[in-house]
């Protein structure tokens, strides 16, 4: 059984941008409810199917499996709820951890989220200088919620 423990933040500026090259992601959801999500994702030339449980604190169950790219693309185009999440992800190492910075496109253009996976919820964390407000507990920032409440509909000041 896999457990994902992650914290999410909004970068305070774009000084992170020169630290990594981005990879294009497309993802959609076959199921979204309060207890579980089932996600299809393409990362460059690879496909994945991911099942996630309900988030409790900063943790949730997560199971991810590779699928053929053609299958993932067909599921994205024909089976997933719209709109799809399209983003570029940048992996940035900092103090022994890898920060994932997602720069969103489409209905979520303008949104940038940085997240880091931890081994425990109480793990000590030294934040990079470019990290701003923590949004771990704010469900608006969950990718699964960005399909029903995209960033373009958020009020100014979030």
132-143: b (≥16 Cβ within 10 Å) or e: eeebeeeeebbb
Separation CA 119–CA 66 (nearest Å): 23
Residue 120 CA to residue 59 CA, distance in Å, equals 9
Q: Can you point out the beta strands (E) in 12-139?
A: 22-32, 36-43, 46-53, 59-67, 81-94, 97-104, 112-117, 131-134
Q: Assess whether 29 carries a catalytic annotation.
A: yes
Pick the catalytic residue: 29, 90, 141, 151? Answer: 29
- Enzyme catalytic residues: 29
């Amino acid at each position: 059984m896999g457990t994902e423990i992650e914290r999410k933040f909004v970068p305070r500026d774009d000084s992170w941008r020169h630290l990594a090259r981005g990879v294009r992601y497309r993802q959609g959801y076959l199921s979204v409810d309060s207890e579980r999500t089932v996600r299809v994702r393409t990362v460059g030339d690879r496909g994945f199917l991911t099942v996630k449980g309900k988030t409790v604190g900063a943790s949730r169950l997560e199971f991810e499996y590779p699928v053929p790219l053609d299958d993932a693309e067909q599921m994205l185009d024909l089976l997933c709820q719209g709109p799809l999440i399209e983003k570029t992800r940048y992996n940035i190492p900092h103090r022994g951890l890898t920060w994932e910075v997602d720069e969103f496109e489409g209905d979520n253009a303008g949104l940038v989220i940085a997240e880091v996976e931890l081994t425990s919820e109480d793990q000590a964390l030294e934040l990079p200088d470019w990290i701003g407000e923590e949004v771990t507990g704010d469900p608006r920032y969950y990718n699964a919620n960005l399909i029903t409440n995209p960033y373009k509909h958020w009020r100014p000041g979030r």
